[in-house]
Structure 1
Amino acid sequence: MTGGASDLTVWIIIVVLGIGTFLIRWSFLGALGNRDMPAWVLRMLRYTPVAVLPALVAPLVMWPAATGGEPEPARLAAAAATAAVGMLTRNVMLAILAGAITLFGMLYVLG
């Protein structure tokens, strides 16, 4: 093994991190799963997907690995089309479809 860490050390780290990850998830699902949450918490939780999805997609649009981190007109156009259709129609599937069609169309046109 390179880096000076023994096999035992690596396995101890893996087990500890696994237990930690389990406890973090259990704290929400196991401890709070059967309890009623206040209305303000439920209202805030509705915004979680809206906050997480752009955070996952934005780096792929602005710094795509396929172009070495350079923004590309096809991906920017697809993101704009997705956002526009999503805001106009409020339909997630139509927005995704519009973005996919725009991306593949622009990649075909731009070569």
Structure 2
Amino acid sequence: MEGIDRTTLWTVIILLGLGSFGLRFVFTGLIGDRVMPEWLLRHLRYTAVAVLPGLVAPLVIWPTGTGGDFDLPRLVAALVTLGVGYVTKNVLAAIGSGAASLYTLLYLLG
């Protein structure tokens, strides 16, 4: 199997780096010192809530630890974490209970 051409690889890396820098510069360099409208600040508060499920969901549905196969302990741990977080509104309690349920089920189910 032949690898990717070095020129293509470095072109992609440089373009992605410039694109990432450009997106960040728009917010910090161009409008970073201006007062933002209240409606925009209200929407920015939900950024983490929107991004985190997008990062976690693939790891629950297609976990790399199992080669992409469905894994009951990871699904249960995600549901426990979600439930504890919703009920207690405590991030540390949610993370701790999710981790405890994951490792307990991994131990029990092998």
When normalised by structure 2's length, the TM-score is: 0.86
Per the alignment, residue 95 of structure 2 pairs with 96
Per-residue deviation at 1:16?
A: 4.0
Q: Which deviates the most, 29-38 or 12-21?
A: 12-21
**Structure 2 runs not aligned, ≥5 long:** none
Aligned residues: 109
Q: Counterpart of 2:67?
A: 68
Q: 1: distance between equivalents of 2:73 and 2:9?
A: 43
Query: What's the TM-score, normalizing by structure 1?
Result: 0.86
Structure 1: distance between partners of 2:72 and 2:86: 21
Tell me the C-alpha RMSD between the 2 structures: 2.0
**Which entry has the higher C-alpha Rg, 1 or 2?**
1
Runs of 5+ unmatched residues, structure 1: none
Q: Which amino acid aligns with 1:101?
A: A
Q: Distance in 2 between matches of 1:38 and 1:82?
A: 34
Identity of aligned residues (%): 51
- Residue 87 of structure 1 aligns with an amino acid whose one-letter code is Y
Counterparts of 2:73 and 2:96 in 1: how far apart (Å)?
A: 15
**1:39: which partner in 2?**
38
